[in-house]
Structure 1
Amino acid sequence: MIYHKQAIELISRLRAQFSVQIIKNNSPFHNKAAELLPEEDHFRLDIMLRNSVYREEIVGATYQELTLTLEKETLIANDVYILQASGPSATAQVGNLASAGFKPKGNYYFRLLMPLQEQIYLHYSLEERHFESDLGFISRLGTAAVINGEELTICTFPVEDKWYLSIESPAKQDLDSFADKAFAVLCGLGFISGHLAGEQGWYFAYANPEMREIVGWQFWQKRKTIRTIYKPVYTNPYAFKDIPKHIQDDFHEQNRLRTISLPEFSKLCEHLYHNASLRGAIILTLESLTGSLILMPAGLSVVLETLSDVILGDKKLDLKPIQTERLKKEILGEFRNTLSKFQEALGPDGYNILRGKIDNINQPTNRTRLTAPFEAVGIKLSQEDFKMLNARNDFLHGRTIDLAKLGEDRSDDKKDQDTYYAATRLYTLISMLILRWVGYDNYVVNHCVTQNQIAQLDITEDAFRALS
């Protein structure tokens, strides 16, 4: 049994307007009345200043540990940023709110609840697990991830017309330790579902492993939600209208598609927990897929470079053309000696430019850096894949790839179609690379095929790409 009810009731109660009294000695707000109001991703304080402070001096300031006294309880507000002050009042944004007496450094059993803008859909993408809630239902919309030996329970559920995401751990720990694991799970769910939850994070602390009675809580303002239409894995072939019916039937009847398993998802979350660069790559992937079309291939190219460093680790040193330090020093010495003979003729600027290039002569090529992780995990790239990887510099400099070699005079629509094709192929490569790395050996969605109604190209590839 998962005890959601008390936490949901607390969130609902605090998402109303309250009159409060501020207690903060030696501050402009001590003993001032205020209104505490909920916003989409934070709380707002409307403070009655009267004439007791210099309003222009507090705008832009951030305050910590403001005590807010309500009629029957006391709250602690942190990250209180003064947005504006005019007339008899000031407006502040509160990014962190907690129950009085809660100690974030103390060890508790934690549950994170996040109100969602809409449901996170994991069906057809991730192995699910049933759970029972004290809200009065049993649901299959749960899953799990093991991080550092802790099995975190994850579930989504509706309350009236609002969806929630719940993440909890059976291990006693401080808030930061739990929050780091929960964020790794959020990034993993974001990658698999295309939906990275944001806005509000409510962390509830419990003294007992049953996690029934709340002993403290803290609200954190989160980054904005990111939602895309893209998923790396989707096991319902009938969801893609451009796939021929006989191929849909074959994949369905032969049961050829499978979801990402819990061990594979756990491995992904474990990597995300330990590697900030990987977390950044997942977020950049989602932001690229929801951003401007012209920036999509550039952002996804950066993701592939990041993944190369993450997956190869120390092995990326093997990509350098000169493999031994002794040989490197010998070759560089010869180049530098030759260059020094022309230093006066080149002038300071020319000499320094060439000296910098010589000093970096042992860097691997961009192509090698991008293709090496695919070789490391056993993925064979096609000629079309190589074409996209070779266009990395074009993407990063905002140049549009010209697939049919029609020249710069081709229509803007054709440029957009080529750009979208490049983005969907790069995203498919990212999906293949990450999932194969964590052990997934089935099929990923080939988005440059399933989304070809937009690119309108003559593509002969299958709608699903095998990783086995």
Structure 2
Amino acid sequence: MNIITKHINATFARINALKAPQTLKLETDHSLLRNYDLLLNKIERGYSAKINFKPFKGFSSTQMHRIKLPQPIILTNEDTTYFIPENSIHLHQVFNDFFGDDPTIDIVGTIDRISTAENESNFDNKFLRFVVPVIPQRDKLKNIRGWYYNTDAKTENRNLLKVRINATEYHFYEFKLGNDAFLAIDSTEFCKLAEFQKICINILLGLGFLYGNLYLDEGFLLSSSSVEFKEIDDISFSIYCKSIMTTYSIHTTNAYSVHDMTAQNEEEDNKNHKEVKKWTNLIIELENTIYSSLCELLYNSEPISRAVITTLQANLLSLEIKGSAYSLALEAITAVFMIENKEKRPKPVADKVFNELKKKFLNVLEDLLPEIKENQDSRKIFKARIDNLNSPSNTDKLQKSFDLVNYKLQDYEIKALKARDKFQHGELPVTDNSDDTVFREVYFMTLIMHRMIYTLVLKRIGYDGYIINYPQIHRHMTDVDLQEEEFYKL
């Protein structure tokens, strides 16, 4: 079998050139800042920009109270030309010494996007590569069964996945270069920029959904006329959404990362190791095809993609808000599944039975609220209520979605679905309002709802394996022992 080779030296020659501190001439039609030198520096998120502006006779600071540079905004030096898209540079003025002799004003700010391409269309119909800086700790793709690849650079962590979305293959891989780590996505055929960007976001979102961290602070997009990327045509940099870093990985191949290994003596230590070892052949790598199915689902269904983002964000919220966010995610996923399967929510009674009931209710309405002017508003409200009495509840709809993925809900899971109504209305599903009770009972409910979100999505894409069972792991915090294992079989 041929080993995949990734050429990344040319990629990082361009990235490093863009990241290097440099002075460029600002070409713009702004009447005051035209042809000034701009100092460009890479900062933690985005770029900093600085111009040493020299006031002239008659200048007033109010002339640059708001600084908006008209398009096109071009930065040039002897080596390169960069273009800054509209609304991507944010500048303001800073006086060095308001009462001093130095009249210089610093114009400073940040740049969110910068590119060597004058138009985004320059990236269309090319091979595209997206490179995202990530924290260097741990391999990011090691828990998914993939491929090893060769490269023309001295890198570590050479894990690669072949992600197929709507019959098109993309390569998703990681590497560590020196002290820096990166995730990268390559197209394997010519593609359009807008479509590729959406693909990349959902591939990264799939990883975040499974392992708790969505890396999307910023990234570099590169184009090439060759699938090998030995030469780079254009490069652009963009800030995206703020990365979401949580501790809620749902899948692992390392039981030691889940089981509490605390031991007071040798006997307890041996017992812990025996418990961990029994999972060795059960918690295995996720299949590449399953990961592809997840990414494809997210790409094709924006409501589920948003629900996944909501779930990741909810992991970081306080308990009082967490339940409401998980409820929204469950409802969004359920709605998609019902439409996919052309399922109607189950009604409380058959239409024939309801029609008989409806007649009797309407007769009562006529008796108690006859059709006269002063009853008009009340009759309208009651009639609408009667017409909708046979509408299924949201809980029924949510339960039906689990039937569609062949998952039998347990009693405590049905209770969590019913608790969703209280979360949605700003209430908490608790037996009393003491702080201890609120924490234990709400935390348990949110842990169950969190697992149910993953159950729906993972069963939908055909996953047949184990997930981390947080409700059981955190039993010491909720005082609820489900008598389950620390890994939950779907």
TM-score bracket, shorter-length normalisation: 0.7 to 0.9
| TM-score of the pair, normalised by structure 2 | 0.84
- 1:28 and 1:351 mapped to 2: Cα distance? 68
* Counterparts in 2 of 1:434 and 1:100: CA distance versus 1, 3 Å: closer
Tell me, yes or no, if structure 1 residue 446 matches structure 2 residue 469.
yes
Instruction: Note if contact 2:84-2:113 (Cα within 8 Å) is conserved in structure 1.
Output: yes
Task: Report SS of the residue matched to 1:82.
Answer: strand
How far has the Cα of 1:313 moved from its partner? 1.6
- 1:235 and 1:267 mapped to 2: Cα distance? 20
Instruction: Note if contact 2:173-2:183 (Cα within 8 Å) is conserved in structure 1.
Output: yes
1:269 — aligned with what?
A: 295
Instruction: Note if contact 1:77-1:97 (Cα within 8 Å) is conserved in structure 2.
Output: yes
- 1:333 and 1:120 mapped to 2: Cα distance? 67
Choose which of 238, 247, 256 in structure 1 pairs with 2:282: 256
* Counterparts in 2 of 1:178 and 1:123: CA distance versus 1, 3 Å: closer
1:201 — aligned with what?
A: 219
Deviating more after overlay: 324-333 vs 223-232: 324-333
* Counterparts in 2 of 1:399 and 1:247: CA distance versus 1, 3 Å: farther
List 4+ stretches of structure 1 deviating above 6 A. Answer: 322-337
Choose which of 307, 332, 336 in structure 2 pairs with 1:281: 307
- 2:183 and 2:118 mapped to 1: Cα distance? 26
2:116 — aligned with what?
A: 99
* Counterparts in 2 of 1:137 and 1:53: CA distance versus 1, 3 Å: same
1:429 — aligned with what?
A: 452
- 2:236 and 2:413 mapped to 1: Cα distance? 46
Residue ranges of structure 1 left out of the alignment (5+ in a row):
none
Matches within 5 A, 1:8-407: 8-25=12-29, 29-51=33-55, 55=62, 59=66, 61=68, 64-78=71-85, 79-87=87-95, 88-101=105-118, 103-105=120-122, 106-119=124-137, 121-122=139-140, 125-137=143-155, 139-242=157-260, 245=272, 246-252=274-280, 255-315=281-341, 317-319=343-345, 321=347, 338=365, 341=370, 344-346=373-375, 348=377, 350=378, 353-354=381-382, 357-358=385-386, 360-361=388-389, 363-402=391-430, 405=431, 407=432
Larger Rg: 2
Instruction: Note if contact 2:8-2:229 (Cα within 8 Å) is conserved in structure 1.
Output: no
* Counterparts in 2 of 1:322 and 1:295: CA distance versus 1, 3 Å: closer
Amino acid of the structure 1 residue aligned with 2:22: F
Provide Cα deviations, 1:114-146, integer angstroms capped at 9, x if missing partner: 111344644664223211121135745222210
Deviating more after overlay: 272-281 vs 292-301: 292-301
- 2:317 and 2:300 mapped to 1: Cα distance? 27
- 2:157 and 2:75 mapped to 1: Cα distance? 38
Amino acid of the structure 2 residue aligned with 1:75: Y
How far has the Cα of 1:306 moved from its partner? 0.7
Deviating more after overlay: 221-230 vs 412-421: 412-421
| TM-score of the pair, normalised by structure 1 | 0.87
Provide Cα deviations, 1:217-268, integer angstroms capped at 9, x if missing partner: 111111111111112222322322248734433222xx12233211111111
* Counterparts in 2 of 1:257 and 1:343: CA distance versus 1, 3 Å: farther
Task: Report SS of the residue matched to 2:201.
Answer: helix
Provide Cα deviations, 1:414-457, integer angstroms capped at 9, x if missing partner: 42232222222111111111111001111222111123343343
Amino acid of the structure 2 residue aligned with 1:99: T
- 1:42 and 1:343 mapped to 2: Cα distance? 68
Task: Report SS of the residue matched to 1:171.
Answer: coil
How far has the Cα of 1:276 moved from its partner? 1.2
Quote the sequence identity (%): 23
Instruction: Note if contact 1:130-1:138 (Cα within 8 Å) is conserved in structure 2.
Output: no
1:413 — aligned with what?
A: 436
Residue ranges of structure 2 left out of the alignment (5+ in a row):
96-104, 262-270
How far has the Cα of 1:303 moved from its partner? 0.7
Instruction: Note if contact 2:29-2:69 (Cα within 8 Å) is conserved in structure 1.
Output: no
- 1:121 and 1:343 mapped to 2: Cα distance? 74
Deviating more after overlay: 115-124 vs 70-79: 115-124
Instruction: Note if contact 1:37-1:43 (Cα within 8 Å) is conserved in structure 2.
Output: yes
Instruction: Note if contact 2:206-2:294 (Cα within 8 Å) is conserved in structure 1.
Output: yes
How far has the Cα of 1:53 moved from its partner? 7.7
Deviating more after overlay: 105-114 vs 33-42: 33-42
